[in-house]
Copies of this chain bind each other. A is one copy, B any other.
Amino acid sequence: MPDPRFTRRGLLAGGAATVAGALSARISERSPSTGGTALAATPPDTTPQTPAGSATEPFHGVRQAGVATLPQAHAVFVGLDLLPGTGREAIGRMMRLLTDDARRLTQGRPALADTEPELAVLPARLTVTFGFGPGLFAAAGLGERRPASVAPLPRFTIDRLEERWTGADLLLQICADDGVTLAHALRMTVKDARAFARVRWTQRGFRRSPVTQAPGLTQHNLLGQLDGTVNPRPGTPDFDRAVWVNDGPEWLRGGTTLVLRRIRAELETWDAADRTAKEFTVGRRLDTGAPLTGRFEHDEPDFDRLTPAGLPVISEYAHIRRAHVKDPGMRIFRRVYNYDEGLTARGHSDCGLLFASYQADVTRQFVPIQRRLAEADLLNEWTTPIGSAVFAVPPGCAEGGWIGETLLS
């Protein structure tokens, strides 16, 4: 039985359906008094301030939310570095504080010292997920409990990593379907981390929300590609095997690891290529996402099929061939966001992907794929990794517990 949290029915009961339901409830409740009058007519003062954004994701559980959770529309990833002298005991205090913030805010309750409690009431499926970078283990004197692959990635030839997007001791990953909710949760949690850490980087992303585009459909990224077709599906045995840590260090069982790569898209030159060239590069159609050997998005690519001229239909260097992993339990789980940070004076975007990859083991799963892509992926011409960080994502906690207790207590 799949966890009901991750079934369509479960989601719709707890999330989107609540949204739709609350909306219709409001409509029928209020139309008699406002029908035919101006849209923004003064609502009766008795209207409760608990509308559609009240959908929540559970906080407590064996696993942290924010990984298998249906991706929300907005995300911010914050990389923090511990202040000098912040050891195991202090990190534990910080994690208790941050866990308490997350526990409250994700359920639509203000943080303990919330300075804008009114902003907490619409959680909009808020999740707050914590990750531990290599530096945290060192600072806590727990280097021997750090999984070997929670370390800077090997250097890839395609990397043009910038210090300002790379590494960090602690990750806060905050996701919600609403930007105001996100801003408030970000501020409240970072405030409580300040006594222990400084902000190294902040990376904001967006994707289509489950209300804009029906959940379960793959999304187009800013390059126009359908992105994530072969992702393991939450709730399946393949997902559980690929994502959750089932062996290795005891404290991380039920957790996962996260590789966060900031990948700049060279949209100007990408768009100078025609559709045929783009599809040849990716190995899929841009519109349907079907492999060049198939008709539908989820058709299995036929890597052996040849053109009449005897060349592979899906090039040796096509992205989907280079990224292909046969064993579904060895795949990576991508929960990708777009970023778009502004425009140069000449009108060029600074945009790309916040490529968040979750897997049980970075070295076994992520690195071989990345290596094959780095060696020869046509898409490299138009994508440049400019940031990289690796984190252990501890398991979830029970009501009286806190995230990180299995490592730090």
Q: Interface with B: A15-23, A99-107, A246-254, A316-324, which one?
A: A15-23
**Interface size of A by Cβ–Cβ distance < 8 Å?**
108
Chain B nearest CB, measured from A401 CB (Å): 26
A–B pairs, 25, beta carbons within 8 Å = A7-B36, A7-B38, A8-B37, A12-B27, A19-B23, A38-B235, A39-B216, A41-B216, A41-B233, A42-B216, A53-B211, A53-B213, A78-B343, A115-B271, A116-B222, A118-B286, A118-B287, A179-B206, A179-B208, A180-B206, A183-B338, A183-B351, A184-B222, A190-B343, A191-B347
CB contact under 8 A between A34 and B53, given known A202-B342, A214-B23, A216-B41: no
Chain B nearest CB, measured from A42 CB (Å): 5
Whether B122 lies near A26 (C-beta < 8 A) is: no
Whether A179 lies near B73 (C-beta < 8 A) is: yes
CB contact under 8 A between A51 and B233, given known A8-B31, A183-B222, A199-B347: no
**Is A261 located at the chain interface by the 8 A CB criterion?**
no
Inside 8 A of A338's CB, which chain B residues have their CB?
A: 179-180, 183
Whether B199 lies near A346 (C-beta < 8 A) is: yes
Q: For the complex, what is the distance from the CA of A124 to the CA of B211, rounded to whole Å? A: 10
Q: For the complex, what is the distance from the CA of A361 to the CA of B20, rounded to whole Å? A: 40
Whether B42 lies near A224 (C-beta < 8 A) is: no
Inside 8 A of A295's CB, which chain B residues have their CB?
A: 45
Contact with B along A37-59 (1 / 0, CB 8 A): 11111110101010111000000
Query: Which of B17, B51, B212, B234 has a CB less than 8 Å from the CB of A27?
Result: B17
Whether B346 lies near A298 (C-beta < 8 A) is: no
Inside 8 A of A45's CB, which chain B residues have their CB?
A: 288, 295-299
**Is A10 located at the chain interface by the 8 A CB criterion?**
yes
CB contact under 8 A between A222 and B115, given known A298-B45, A347-B194: no
Q: A51-B214, A179-B340, A186-B349 are in contact. List 14 more A-B contacts (CB 8 A).
A: A6-B40, A7-B37, A8-B34, A9-B31, A9-B35, A11-B39, A23-B214, A39-B234, A45-B295, A45-B296, A45-B297, A47-B214, A53-B208, A180-B208
Inside 8 A of A271's CB, which chain B residues have their CB?
A: 115-116
Instruction: Please indicate which of the listed interface residues A22, A40, A45, A124 has the most CB atoms of chain B within 10 Å of its own CB.
Output: A40
Whether A53 lies near B222 (C-beta < 8 A) is: no
